[in-house]
Amino acid sequence: MTDPVRDFIERKGFIVLDGGLATELEALGCDLNDPLWSARALIDAPDVIRTAHRRFLEAGADCIATVTYQATFEGFAARGLDAADTARLLGRAVRVAVSARDEFLADRAMEPPDRPRPLVAASVGPYGAFLADGSEYRGDYGLAAAELYDFHAPRWEALAEAGADLMACETTPSVEETRAYCRLTAVSHFPTWISFQCRDGAHLADGTPLETAAALCDGEPHVVAVGVNCTDPALTVSLIGAARRATGKPILVYPNSGEVWDAEAKRWTGGAIPVDWARRAVEWRAAGADGIGGCCRVGPSAIAAIRGGIVSPQRSVT
């Protein structure tokens, strides 16, 4: 098995992740008020997805995640699409990201000559994302690992065949879903990172200690990195420490803006916390993070600031 994350880090010392893809799609005019959320754009706005990916690459991202976080066979079936159509849409998501990367590389004269080829990660959202009721922030599905494995397996197979560099299991809120992902990774031999949604500085959304979940990942060789995402930026240092106590694998952090998702109102509340992304990136790297990016409500300008703070100065992105 190749390990694209470790290979990248060994070459450059660090990896910059992208930001909130759905946030950028909305900024570009997409209406995502839909149970499919960002995956809706796969049906009606693939060119806008490509533009959003390109903006993150131009901001300095070394890895972009596909628009498949909320793309599932069950979700598209509710929209009237059969399994073959859904598999084609999942493949389209990867192809759009790869084409954005290839177009970016064609303009490589704009970039430092030693910058490695950016990675494409196939995003896998949790079962709660399919439910579209905010339960990815609670993890209270009442499903066992075997049931979650069966739910994720068809999408996993389709994405693994589509040409991405690795899988990114994001906003994982429960230990049962962690077990399902570890089994999927072991069966497929596909390099994967698993990133967690945490209720505080030490526990997953379902109350499991982050150290416990990270230790499960550490024991599966095809899990190539452990992360935390869509968490409050203020929790990041504590979460890095908890993960590092359980694993020697690369640690990836990509918090949100500090706002809170209101599942009933379908909106972010609480107001964004002012974040000096360049300064925080330096802090998080010193705490042990090997990769940094952003999640919901974090756009290309923040990614440019992260890269400028820890890697090299970048032109500003608006």
* pTM of this structure: 0.93
| Beta-strand relationship, 166-172 and 223-229 | unpaired
Q: How confident is the model at residue 148, as a pLDDT?
A: 98
Q: How far apart are CA 208 and CA 200, in angstroms?
A: 11
Nearest one of 159, 272, 112 to 169, comparing CA atoms: 159
Domain boundaries, the chain: 4-310
Angle in degrees, CA 102, 106, 107, rounded to 5 = 120
Termini Cα distance of the chain:
38
Mean pLDDT value of segment 265-286: 81
Single-letter code of the amino acid located at 79: R
The CATH fold assigned to 4-310 is: TIM Barrel (3.20.20)
- Residue 236 contacts by C-beta under 8 Å, 6 or more apart in sequence? 228, 253, 255, 280, 284, 287, 289
Of 28-37, 117-126, 227-236, 298-307, which gets the smallest average pLDDT?
28-37
Q: How confident is the model at residue 110, as a pLDDT?
A: 57
Mean pLDDT value of segment 281-297: 96
pLDDT in tens, 158-195: 999 999 999 999 999 999 999 999 999 999 999 999 99
Residue 79 scores a pLDDT above 80: yes
Higher pLDDT, 99 or 258: 99
Q: How far apart are CA 231 and CA 281, in angstroms?
A: 15
Sign of the Cα torsion 181, 281, 4, 9 reads negative
Number of H helices, E strands in the chain: 13, 10
Q: Are 21 and 297 in contact (CB under 8 A)?
A: no
Q: Are 310 and 291 in contact (CB under 8 A)?
A: no
- Residue 313 contacts by C-beta under 8 Å, 6 or more apart in sequence? none
pLDDT in tens, 100-132: 999 999 887 656 667 789 999 999 999 999 998
Beta strands in 127-275 (DSSP E): 166-172, 192-196, 223-229, 251-254, 260-262, 267-269
pLDDT in tens, 239-256: 999 999 999 999 999 999
Q: How confident is the model at residue 313, as a pLDDT?
A: 46
What is the 8-class DSSP label of residue 182? Answer: H
Q: Are 181 and 206 in contact (CB under 8 A)?
A: no
Question: Considering the chain, what is the average pLDDT of its residues?
Answer: 92
Higher pLDDT, 196 or 137: 196
Q: How confident is the model at residue 111, as a pLDDT?
A: 62
**Predicted confidence band of residue 35 (pLDDT cuts 50, 70, 90):** confident
Tally of CB atoms within 10 A around 250? 22
Single-letter code of the amino acid located at 212: T
Q: How confident is the model at residue 18, as a pLDDT?
A: 98
CA distances to 71, 124, 138, 173, 296 from 200, rounded to whole Å, are 28, 23, 12, 12, 17
Tally of CB atoms within 10 A around 81? 16
Q: How confident is the model at residue 314, as a pLDDT?
A: 43
Single-letter code of the amino acid located at 279: R
Higher pLDDT, 67 or 275: 67
pLDDT in tens, 126-145: 999 999 888 888 999 999 99
Q: How far apart are CA 30 and CA 1, in angstroms?
A: 37
Q: Are 272 and 232 in contact (CB under 8 A)?
A: no
